[in-house]
Structure 1
Amino acid sequence: HDLPKKVRALALRHALSAKVRDGGLVVWETAELAEGKTKSLRETFAKASLKNALIIDGAEVHEKFAVAARNLQQIHVLPVQGANVYDIMRREKLVLTRAAIEALEARFK
């Protein structure tokens, strides 16, 4: 059985607010890379202390960023349409880009 849309939206809201309460929410301006190299992305994540994270970008994920991130085991990248409660709750950190925040606000209105 599928849950009603209102219940799914409410669950997503609660998952997002739980991340904010726990201090597990990080906001980035964009999620882009000049070159699709995993090594440079791993170094960036090490500086930001991101070991186990879900990154939600705008309508489309930047291609080079997605290519570099897919080789990192504890990092998962989704477009904003793929945001779901399960993925949000199973990762320590949630990284949202500005485009993702705007899309989520429009989704909840």
Structure 2
Amino acid sequence: MKVKVQNLDGTEVQGAAGDVELNDAVFGVEPRQDILHRVVTWQLWNRRATARPTRERSDVARTGKKFGRQKGGGTARHGDRAAPVFIGGGKAHGAKKRDFNISLNKKIRALGMKMALSTKARDGLVVVDSLELKDAKTKALAEQFGKNGWNGKILVIDGDAVEGSFARAAGNLPGVNVLPAVGANVYDILKHDTLVLTKAAVEKLEARFNG
């Protein structure tokens, strides 16, 4: 699949560098809703931290010896300092530990990533030569995005690291997120309207699955 390479100002790159051949094994996979759903669910569940448990009576380090006589003491007939009614006692019906980490086969995760990229390759994918800016200002970058017709949520993925001036200029733009290629994931790709890849990002993503 051939895609025209653009500059950040919206003009097409001329010459042999003006086209990039996308690997059909990565950008030409037929999407399946069930696979994408499984991968997104796996991502979101793994963001949840482990639910911390509370200590119940059996977990509290207090004596189990009866501390007062049964009758005549003028107090209730308690037999255990670990009872919930005492300060330092165990929690009655406390929260249990819950671990939300779920596993997902590597092949399914890789397939979901390919399907997400393929979904954007059909509609919403832009390939740019690089992210170097002449005027690294947030206002200038926002105006440029408007001229290019990049509206809504925009995800920009670079190669090994995001170009510094671009990252600073895009940092305050609402709805614009930038990632290095190693951070590309199914959830972020699908939730953005436009996916912008640099040529370096295309190489890294293809090498990620063919390496």
Q: TM-score with structure 1 length normalisation?
A: 0.93
Q: Aligned partners of 1:2, 1:44: CA distance in 2, in Å?
A: 42
TM-fit CA distance, 1:65: 0.3
Q: Report the equivalent of 1:28.
A: 128
TM-fit CA distance, 1:73: 0.7
Percent of aligned pairs sharing the same letter: 53
Alignment of 1:1-109 (within 5 A): 1-21=102-122, 23-51=123-151, 52-109=153-210
Q: How many residues align?
A: 108
Amino acid at match of 1:86: Y
Q: Greater Rg, structure 1 or structure 2?
A: 2
**Bigger helix share:** 1
Deviations 1:1-32 (A, max 9, x none): 132222111100000111112x2100000012
Structure 2 runs not aligned, ≥5 long: 1-101
TM-fit CA distance, 1:35: 4.2
Q: Aligned partners of 2:115, 2:124: CA distance in 1, in Å?
A: 14
Deviations 1:33-63 (A, max 9, x none): 2343101111110111112210000111011
Q: Aligned partners of 2:182, 2:202: CA distance in 1, in Å?
A: 12
Structure 1 runs not aligned, ≥5 long: none
Tell which has more relative contact order, 1 or 2 (C-alpha 8 A, sep 6+): 1
RMSD: 1.1
CA contact (8 A) 1:34 1:64 kept: no
Query: Where in structure 1 do 4 or more consecutive aligned residues deviate above 6 Å?
Result: none
Moved more, 31-40 or 82-91: 31-40
Q: TM-score with structure 2 length normalisation?
A: 0.50
